[in-house]
Structure 1
Amino acid sequence: MRALVLPASGEQPTFAELPVPTPGAGEVLLRVRAAALNPLDNHIAAGALEQMFEHRYPLVLGRDASGVVEAVGEGVDDVAVGDEVLGHVLFEPPFQAGTVAEYAIVPARTVVPKPADLDHVTAAALPLAGGAARMVVDAINPQPGQVVLVNGASGGVGRYAVQLLSQLGLTVVATAAPADAERLRELGATEVVDFTAGSVAEQVRTAHPDGVDALINLAGYTLAEVPLDAVRSAGVVCTTTQVPDADTLAARQLSGGGVIASPTRDVIAPLAEQAAKGELQVDVYRVLPLDQAPDGLAELAAGRARGKIVVDLSL
């Protein structure tokens, strides 16, 4: 099978011909129809996680896929050969299996039937980004009447988070460049703060002098990039970038912490049903053939993607 791989530590992603893998116990082999790209793929490719998790090479990139069940491992009885499904490779060691390939192994506990009203490209864009959004929204324990700031709202996770918060009737303040403002309002943002126009925290405090009740931080890998000063005392912060840490939050009389998204079936299935009913919009920014998958990773790394980039293996 053809796959986008890291041949060895420190090397650049390239295409390789690999044997079709065999699913083990609790695993599902998919014939991939579409695979989404995520910022996590670039972190893995850059070796940023090698000190945290075992990596086995050649390592196939990609975490999300939609496709057709080709085979199932021992103990898998939730899906059968021929089923159309979507699934996700969990954030668990060892890192080797991936989805930007003609075939992919995914844990059965992340695999859900693909609703008939979802095409494969749309379905592939859901698991990690949608699951991360669901998890960060739940982590802040939102309450009626609250104001929540989503920093990094124009990315894949942010667009889902804005919708999920809006569905709860909250006031959603989203950070984005001007080009993304109209779409974020369509998705449910009450206010959009232009992060290119100066301090986000100062802009938010101008509109909300007492500060927002919670911050969902999806962008910024240094403390200076995270608008903590926008949050009121005793507010809640949830971050996917692992910044700020617990000590920093405690020093500012804030609670919360980091979330590492590893969405399983119970998280992914409701999102897929919402998307199929039109209750959750899936913003696919670009669809690429397999040969152009590296271009998609480069676009993500450059921060130019406005929504999800999906590799369509039928192209």
Structure 2
Amino acid sequence: MTRNQESILIDQSSTERSKDSDMRAVVFRNIGGPEVLEIIEAPVPEPGAGQVRIKVAAATVNAADVSIRAGKLAIEGITDRGQLGLGWDVAGTVDALGAGVSGPAKGTAVIGMVSGFFEVGAQADYAVVDAEGVAVAPDSVDLVHAATIPVNAQTADQALALVAARPGDRILIAGAAGGVGGYAVQLARHAGLHVVAHARPGDAALLRELGAHEAVSDLDGLRVDAAFDAAPLGDAAISTVRDGGTYVTSRADLMPEAQRGIRLEEPDTKNDGARLAQLVKLVDEGVLTTRVAKTYPLTEVAKAHADFARGGVRGRLVLIP
């Protein structure tokens, strides 16, 4: 299916859905397993000033979704809100513009990230996103694959910016077979770094396909200038960093103690539409490879969470409304 055909189908679906006052959205009201997830009818959100509304074609299930639902990442006031929506990555077509927004035009295929915690998130029929945080979707992949870009690629990109390594420096990417780690391997290689990618032994071929110079499953004796710990492994990963090097973790709550003059950093993933557009360009140029492990209808969100929690997922799990 071409992008134009895909857009026509999505536009038709948007028109049909717009006749109704409600939409479907994934929420949870209590901490627990996948069984606490609900699909509710909620009002279609109106874009505020500076925002766009997107008719969702695809939304991913990320580690944060699973961790928040399970209570591993505490979000203050969940019970006070009554419910919390899930989903940050979104790909779809612009459906409505808020005040002061001149573009992207209605009907444009875009990707973006829902920033923050709300009663509904990207795992819904419609999502509202800041206009400055969206980018036109890639031409080279469909919207299902495009949905894997916003959170994971921006997290990897911003983590590498914190590393501030120079071409030729050795960098460890831990958790390199995962969604964030995979993008980090590709971006680090593109930046001219010597990439040492860590994952399970069975992932060695994948890591080399992504661009790793070395694929390792054992960190003993390894020495690098910097590490991006997307696993995270904590002490095992920071032990590989030379004195005075840099350690960046994907989880601030699991940050190792300061040691040996190593600079400690943690990316706070921010939605940057201009930079996201540059990442889209890298996808279209073949520098970045999108990976989708499996797709699910929105109604099977609990199954997607259960599959994610079992581990070993290589690529993103994507919900399709």
Query: TM-score, normalization: structure 1?
Result: 0.87
In the alignment of these two chains, the number of paired residues is: 295
Distance in 2, Cα, partners of 1:46 & 1:287: 22
Name the counterpart of 1:74. 99
RMSD of equivalent CA atoms: 2.1
- Alpha-carbon distance change, 147 to 38 in structure 1, aligned in 2, over 3 angstroms: same
User: In the alignment, does 2:318 pair up with 1:293?
Assistant: no
Give 2:314's match in structure 1, choosing from 295, 306, 310. Answer: 306
SS in 2 for 1:30: strand
- Tell me by how many angstroms 1:143 deviates: 0.6
Whether the 8 Å CA contact 2:114–2:127 is kept in 1: the answer is: no
Give 1:148's match in structure 2, choosing from 171, 187, 209. Answer: 171
- Tell me by how many angstroms 1:54 deviates: 9.8
1:199-278 residue pairs with structure 2 within 5 A? 200-202=218-220, 205=221, 208=222, 211-220=223-232, 223-224=234-235, 226-242=236-252, 245=255, 248-249=257-258, 251-278=259-286
SS in 2 for 1:303: coil
Name the counterpart of 1:62. 87
Greater Cα shift, 123-132 or 235-244: 235-244
Name the counterpart of 2:64. 40
Q: Percent identity?
A: 36
Greater Cα shift, 26-35 or 157-166: 26-35
Once the two structures are superposed, what CA deviation does each residue of 1:31-71 show, in whole Å capped at 9, x if it has no partner?
10111111011122134232389973432211011111111
Distance in 2, Cα, partners of 1:287 & 1:273: 24
Greater Cα shift, 123-132 or 270-279: 270-279
- Alpha-carbon distance change, 273 to 237 in structure 1, aligned in 2, over 3 angstroms: same
The one-letter amino acid paired with 1:264 is: D
Name the counterpart of 2:11. none
- Alpha-carbon distance change, 54 to 123 in structure 1, aligned in 2, over 3 angstroms: farther
Query: TM-score, normalization: structure 2?
Result: 0.86
User: In the alignment, does 2:62 pair up with 1:50?
Assistant: no
Whether the 8 Å CA contact 1:180–1:306 is kept in 2: the answer is: no
Q: Structure 2: any 5+ residue segments left out of the alignment?
A: 1-22
SS in 2 for 1:201: coil
User: In the alignment, does 2:26 pair up with 1:4?
Assistant: yes
Whether the 8 Å CA contact 2:171–2:224 is kept in 1: the answer is: yes
The one-letter amino acid paired with 1:238 is: V
Distance in 1, Cα, partners of 2:52 & 2:317: 24
Name the counterpart of 2:19. none
Name the counterpart of 1:114. 137
The one-letter amino acid paired with 2:39 is: F
1:128-139 residue pairs with structure 2 within 5 A? 128-139=151-162
Distance in 1, Cα, partners of 2:119 & 2:312: 27
Name the counterpart of 2:128. 105
Once the two structures are superposed, what CA deviation does each residue of 1:262-314 show, in whole Å capped at 9, x if it has no partner?
2320221111111122221111111222122222222222222112111123x
SS in 2 for 1:216: strand
Q: Structure 1: any 5+ residue segments left out of the alignment?
A: 195-199
